[in-house]
Amino acid sequence: MNALINKTILIVDDDADTRDLMRLVLEDAGATVITAESVEEALRTYRKSPPHGVVTDIRLGSSDGYALITAIRKNDAEYRGFTAVVALTGFASPEDRIRAFAAGFNAYIAKPFEAGELVRTLGELLQPSSDLAA
């Protein structure tokens, strides 16, 4: 069974083409997709209708994905209990990966990304048997 069926994913990226590509990939995998182009828009969406998962770029205009992950982790218990958050970013050094996991991201994918890797990563994080999604 596809772990993305009946799951809502919030995509946060300030590049419209990247948002559209991720939206198409995840909708094709069965997810319901909501998009945002800024941290502020993403947090409004998150508070209004908490998604099961978030895929966010790190560099987001005047803010960044670290501000977003901090806010999500601070509010997870109130809004959803657990939100799987994936950093999908052009910052691809080993130090960037370490910083992302230390900040609270559940997964890290470097751009350019492969559609299958994104779907597989979210699927693993959102499986009911996953320790993270319990």
Residue 1 has pLDDT above 70, yes or no: no
Residue 134 has pLDDT above 50, yes or no: no
CATH superfamily of 8-126: Response regulator (3.40.50.2300)
Token couple for 40: 């502020």
Residue 27 has pLDDT above 50, yes or no: yes
Q: Which of 71, 72, 66, 70 is nearest to 87 (CA)?
A: 66
What are the structural domain ranges in the chain?
8-126
Res 129: pLDDT: 56
Cα–Cα–Cα angle for 29, 35, 38, rounded to 5 degrees: 145
121-130 pLDDT per residue, tens:
999 999 865 4
Continuous H helices in the chain: 16-28, 39-48, 65-79, 94-103, 115-126
Residues 66, 87 contacting (CB under 8 angstroms): no
Average pLDDT, whole number, for the chain?
90
Mean predicted confidence (pLDDT) in 46-72: 92
Token couple for 45: 């969406």
Res 56: pLDDT: 96
Res 21: pLDDT: 96
Mean predicted confidence (pLDDT) in 49-71: 91
Residues 91, 66 contacting (CB under 8 angstroms): no
